[in-house]
With several copies, the nearest count.
Chain A
Amino acid sequence: MDHLQLGVKIGHLYLKNPIMPASGAFGFEMETLIDFNNLGAIVPKSITKHPRGGNATPRVCEVNGGMINSIGIQSKGVDYYVKEILPHYERYDTPLISSISADSVEEFAEMAEIISRESIVSGIELNISCPNLKGNGKAFGMDAALSYNVVKKVKDVTDKPIIAKLTPNVTSIQEIALACEKGGADALNVANTFLAMAVDIYTREPKIGNVLGGISGPAIKPLIVRMIYQVRKVTNLPIIGCGGVMTWEDVVEMLLVGANAVQVGTASFINPTALPDILEGLKEYMTANGVKDINELVGKVNIKHNQVESI
């Protein structure tokens, strides 16, 4: 197993393996549980420029094959992040990707500029699934022009690799992916959570304080796999697959349809050591199947027919 080549490149960023946490489902509180040096990257929770309180509780609920969350990006602001959060990760040699959320295109650029000054930050993930409050309140990532704008403005102010984290709540993920590529994105994260809702039929209240939330977990994996496949068809940018990865098998599936790396979110809530467990499983699979370099798997789904892309 020692000669396995697990390293992947996300633009200019080299990751020692393709397994990293998803933003919002990871923190230094996990330090005693797993060795951060074995992660492909460290991805702390999205931050906002100013401190923010977050949404009403309950903020999570269980659904069939997953969960809904609506945390509301509770954040202590970018200054606190730079001063108090980032230093926690200094002792690890794993690249850190900062996830940022903002209310406007300008704010995205401002934040990227501030974050870029930190040498510990190896890349920036743009959470364009958050709502554009200066616009109609819809997520940036639901509009190709806005997505383009966010990425472009951020690229203008930073040299760090930029990952656009797409929202899956769109008619054409390909269109948004291409807009981000045109804006200069170095990589794409496919994708954030799907907007969802659940109601307690006895109290007749939404199970989430904020009424709507994002669904994550295995229930959404087939939708995300489809989107990775679709995005891979239109771009050569590195793709980070995200959504419903619970096991190493899920990672292989995402790589086969075109992802170069994956993020693991909800799985860590169910199995707190999911990240290292998945990496171990992947290594065993590679050894057993003679896969020497993990990159060999990327996009290797075997499409026999000239299929129609409809249902």
Chain B
Amino acid sequence: MKPYDLKIISNVRVSERYWHLKLDARPIADSIRPGQFFNIKCADLAFLRRPFSIYRINKEEKTIEFLYLVKGNGTVHLTEAAPGEYLNIFGPLGNGFELKKEWNTVLLLARGVGIATLAALAQEAAANQVTCIAVLSARTNNDLLSTEMLERLGVEVYKVTEEDGTSDVEAVEKLIENLLKANRIQAAFTCGSKRLSKLLQRMAKMVHLPAQIALEEHMGCAMGVCYACVCDIQENDDTHSVRVCREGPVFDLNKVVLK
């Protein structure tokens, strides 16, 4: 982890509420893993940095990409950053997803901008000939991002939205049940929705499916010193506090306490 001034290659709107940011990553020596994140100084007018997962790592052209939802002060100003300018990003931070060698087929369950986080994983899975089945949930079809990119990677994509009335928890539960029946899914990954994470946690515990979650929490330092970003991990009968920025953001879904 280090702060870097990276040149902006592009920063464009990709849907109503989402933007895509591409940076020249040549200065970064560390290797970057899917699930890791960077803490980005969005603008002078946004005091704190903002954490964003790595969305795409392009090793050949040495670029990194982020997909971000325009939400408040920081991201609104981030949209104003222009190609050619430099952005100060701090990272890579935290621990990424673990993709075990023995897994051939995995399930991705993402909602909203959580897709950004799992897209990086899908990319790695594809490189390792792991089959990915993705359930992507969003408010509207316009919000359903990266489906084409995922399909190009060979991911089998299922889309559910409020718009189409297909995204309620019951419907998603049914869908996953069917997917679990039809495929030899060996692990699951989720990001972006508390509701869906709880659902997946329940289902994974039931069928003893290894599962990982990328969590979000408000951050101060993003480097493990301030204890702003804690969540609880339950192992056997012991509950202990961990830092999302340091021990996470990826945790064993079967152990994390979802409030």
Q: Do chains A and B touch in the complex (CB under 8 A)?
A: yes
- Chain A residues close to B by CB (< 8 Å): 24-27, 29-30, 32-33, 45, 53-54, 57-67, 69, 71, 74, 217, 268-273
Provide the residues of chain B in CB contact with A62, threshold 8 Å.
Answer: 46-48, 73-74
The stretch that binds A, out of B96-104, B125-133, B225-233, is B225-233
Label chain A's interface by main secondary structure. Answer: loop
- B223 contacts the other chain (CB 8 A): yes
Interface residues of B in 45-76 (CB under 8 A from A): 46-49, 73-74
Provide the residues of chain A in CB contact with B219, threshold 8 Å.
Answer: 60
How many whole Å from A46's CB to the nearest CB in chain B?
Answer: 11
- The residue on A at minimum CB distance from B88 is A271
Query: Once the chains bind, are B217 and A33 in contact (CB under 8 Å)?
Result: no
- The residue on B at minimum CB distance from A208 is B218
- B22 contacts the other chain (CB 8 A): no
Select A33's contact among B1, B48, B228, beta carbons within 8 Å. Answer: B1
5 residue pairs A–B, Cβ–Cβ below 8 Å: A24-B226, A25-B225, A29-B224, A62-B47, A271-B3
Provide the residues of chain A in CB contact with B41, threshold 8 Å.
Answer: 270
Known contacts A32-B1, A54-B241, A74-B241, A270 near B49 by CB under 8 Å: yes
- Chain B residues close to A by CB (< 8 Å): 1-3, 41, 46-49, 73-74, 90, 217-231, 241, 246
Query: Once the chains bind, are A270 and B48 in contact (CB under 8 Å)?
Result: yes
Query: Once the chains bind, are A59 and B47 in contact (CB under 8 Å)?
Result: no
Query: Once the chains bind, are B3 and A269 in contact (CB under 8 Å)?
Result: no
Select B3's contact among A32, A58, A272, beta carbons within 8 Å. Answer: A272
Query: Once the chains bind, are B246 and A54 in contact (CB under 8 Å)?
Result: no
**How far is A27 from B223 in the complex, measured between Cα atoms in Å?**
9
- The residue on A at minimum CB distance from B232 is A53
Select A29's contact among B46, B47, B73, B225, beta carbons within 8 Å. Answer: B225
**How far is A59 from B244 in the complex, measured between Cα atoms in Å?**
13
Query: Once the chains bind, are A273 and B228 in contact (CB under 8 Å)?
Result: no
Query: Once the chains bind, are B227 and A30 in contact (CB under 8 Å)?
Result: no
**How far is A65 from B47 in the complex, measured between Cα atoms in Å?**
6
Query: Once the chains bind, are B1 and A57 in contact (CB under 8 Å)?
Result: no
Query: Once the chains bind, are A61 and B225 in contact (CB under 8 Å)?
Result: no
Query: Once the chains bind, are A269 and B227 in contact (CB under 8 Å)?
Result: no
**How far is A33 from B91 in the complex, measured between Cα atoms in Å?**
11
